[in-house]
Amino acid sequence: MGIPISKPYFGAEEFEAVQQPLESGWVVQGPMVHRFEQAFAAYTGAAHGIAASSCTTALHLAVAALGLARGDEVIVPAFTWISTANVVEYLGATPVFCDVRLDTFNIDVEQAAALVTPRTVGIIPVHLFGLCAELDPVLDLARRHNLWVVEDAACALGAFYRGRHAGTFGQAGCFSFHPRKSITTGEGGMITTADGSLDRVTRSLRDHGSVRSDFARHHERAGFLLSEYPYLGYNFRMTDIQGALGCAQLARAAWILERRSAIAARYAVRLSGVDWLRTPVVPDGYVHGFQAYVCLFGGDRIDTGEVHALHELRNGLMQRLEDRGIATRQGTHAAALQEFYRNKYQLAPEQFPNAYRADRLTLALPLYAQLTESEQDLVCDALREEAQRA
């Protein structure tokens, strides 16, 4: 049995939870989704939680509700999961990619300021791998130019910035419950917002643009009449099976996050003498959610421009670890350099040197609640041994 990169944790509560909607027969966006929304909003300290079918659809709903349209520009980091940019593209607007910092993997706010044009309407900072972006500078920039801020908080459960939970800083925050994230509903997402009108509009847009949910219609008077549909909406609803699973997962989130944080702290100690590996930083004022434990391969050589040679060495190391049954992964990819964006906007690695290096040189280690100390030691020992063979 090998050591995977990640593994969801499901106990008896999850198995019981998913049976409830099957027994009641109400399986799509009903009481369980409602309960999950309330619990998630309370957990993060947000006024409203709006569940969606994924974080990608949550982001899509948020930017649509904010009025994003053709001709608009939105600043997004160049090193992020591709859907951060895709949601801008879906609405005919233009994602303007900004390079990231190599220490935090998050958007470089000074460079973002230089990208603002008269067409810029918003910015989507990403809290990559569970570390918040530099939110005060982002919010300052947004205020100065009258931009909205949608936080891509896909990875940011348990992430805090100056005492506040991720997803409560911008007009909206969007979370993911994909199995690679700290808690999972299979597929699933959540919008958090303090804005009552954004709450109303995103709820409507996720449900074909209706003003009254099916659950409300079936449980109130005049259920025989369909809702009104004032907007061009989508079907981005979460199922009640996912909602029930989400409630059970959220109930153990504190333990899951505690385990992840303890494992991350232990990696930092065990790998502290490894000079070819930069382990994640947690600046003052931040609580890292550790959705992933992402290191940078190459040590001092990272800054010398030998990216290609280091990339080959990293891949060789990852292959040898895989051969020994230990899964590692690249952190995420440079969205800006994926074929669609590279071709459409004529983008090249030289424009995003840090995003490019992060794409080529990140190395994520196994991280999940049930990872044991001896398994973690196995990972660390194998890393050291295999690196010496390079």
Ligand X SMILES: *Cc1c(COP(=O)(O)O)cnc(C)c1O
Taking alpha carbons only, the member of 147, 145, 140 closest to residue 93 is: 147
**Within a 10 A sphere around the Cβ of 102, how many other Cβ atoms?**
19
User: What is the nearest approach in angstroms of ligand X to the Cβ of residue 1?
Assistant: 26
Shortest separation between residue 32's beta carbon and ligand X, angstroms: 18
Supply the minimum distance, in Å, between the C-beta of residue 237 and ligand X.
14
CB of 39 to ligand X, least distance (A): 18
Among residues 127, 181, 259, 311, the one annotated as catalytic is 181
Which C-beta is closer to ligand X: that of 179 or that of 209? 179
CB-facing half-sphere around the CA of 189: CA atoms within 13 A: 27
- The values of phi and psi at residue 198, to 5°, are -65, -40
Question: Between helices 240-251 and 31-44, what is the axis angle to 10°?
Answer: 30
The distance from CA 204 to its chain's CA centroid, rounded to whole angstroms, is 23
- Residues 6+ away with beta carbon under 8 Å from 277: 271, 295, 296, 297, 299, 363, 383
Q: Which of 372, 356, 350 is nearest to 100 (CA)?
A: 356
Write down the least CB distance from residue 374 to ligand X, Å. Answer: 29
Q: Which is nearer to ligand X, 250 or 310 (CB)?
A: 250
What's the closest the beta carbon of residue 181 comes to ligand X, in angstroms? 6
Q: How far apart are CA 384 and CA 166, in angstroms?
A: 35
Q: Which amino acid is at 206?
A: R
CB 44 within 8 A of CB 153: no
Q: Please say which residue, 365 or 387, places its beta carbon nearer to ligand X.
A: 365
Cβ proximity to ligand X, 81 vs 352, nearer residue: 81
Whose Cβ is closer to ligand X: residue 81's or residue 148's? Answer: 81
Contact positions vs ligand X (CB under 6 A): 54-56, 80-81, 83-84, 126, 128, 152, 154-155, 176, 178, 189
- Amino acid making up residue 299: G
What strands lie across the sheet with 277-278, from one edge to the other? Answer: 277-278, 293-297, 362-365
Residues counted in the chain: 390
Q: How far is the CB of 372 from ligand X (least distance, A)?
A: 26
Contacts of 106 (CB under 8 A, 6+ apart): 77, 100, 125, 126, 127, 128, 131, 132, 133, 134
Token couple for 256 = 């899951």
Widest pairwise Cα distance in the chain: 73
Active site residue 7: no
Task: Choose among 62, 46, 10: nearest CA to 183.
Answer: 10
Give the residue numbers annotated as catalytic, written as ranges: 181
